[in-house]
Amino acid sequence: MAEHRLGETGGTRDVERRDAPTRGVIVAGVAFLVTVVAVSFAAGPFIAWLTQPPPAVPRVPGILERQGPPLLVDPAERLDERARAARDQLTGFAWVDRDAGIARIPLTDAMDILADRGWQAPPPQSPPRRMMPLPTRRNTPDDTGEADE
């Protein structure tokens, strides 16, 4: 521990002060309160400015505005129409391409024809067409790090 020497005046001048000055604490507290009040009054208009809604966009005449998703008047009827259309495609006759002689026949008839005749391979003179060329590997390194040549 350090030794403190007392001065010639009885030690009152050389002794270290342990308390903060009262006047400084009061001045700091009042300054803090004034700052808090000033910031509170300034924050009110700033927050009001931040939360104001954006300006309204002018409406274009003639555009129908909906409140929510479009709803069907009779959804059961719409579902029945779609089911009927799908059933007609599976059970009805129709031309797919009349010039090429391609027609759509009922699914049950097609299965019967396929069972009777068997699967027919396409003619050899018409190989299957590729829609896009396949990518080729050219001069790429293999697992050993060498390039194919």
In a domain, 100, yes or no: yes
Q: What is the pLDDT of residues 87-145, one digit of tens each?
A: 988 888 888 888 888 888 998 898 999 999 888 876 677 666 666 666 666 655 554 55
In a domain, 42, yes or no: no
At 78, which amino acid appears?
R
In a domain, 26, yes or no: no
Number of domains in the chain: 1
Instruction: Reduce the DSSP state of residue 146 to 3 states and report it.
Output: coil
Strongest mean pLDDT among 9-18, 55-64, 108-117, 129-138: 108-117
In a domain, 103, yes or no: yes
Q: What is the pLDDT of residues 67-81, one digit of tens each?
A: 667 778 888 999 999
In a domain, 101, yes or no: yes
Cα Rg, the chain, nearest whole Å: 46
The DSSP-derived string for 29-95 is HHHHHHHHHHHHHHHHHHHHHHHSPPPPPPPPTTPPP-SSS---S-HHHHHHHHHHHHHHHHHS-EE
In a domain, 79, yes or no: no
In a domain, 33, yes or no: no
In a domain, 95, yes or no: yes
Q: For residue 108, what are the domain limits?
A: 87-117
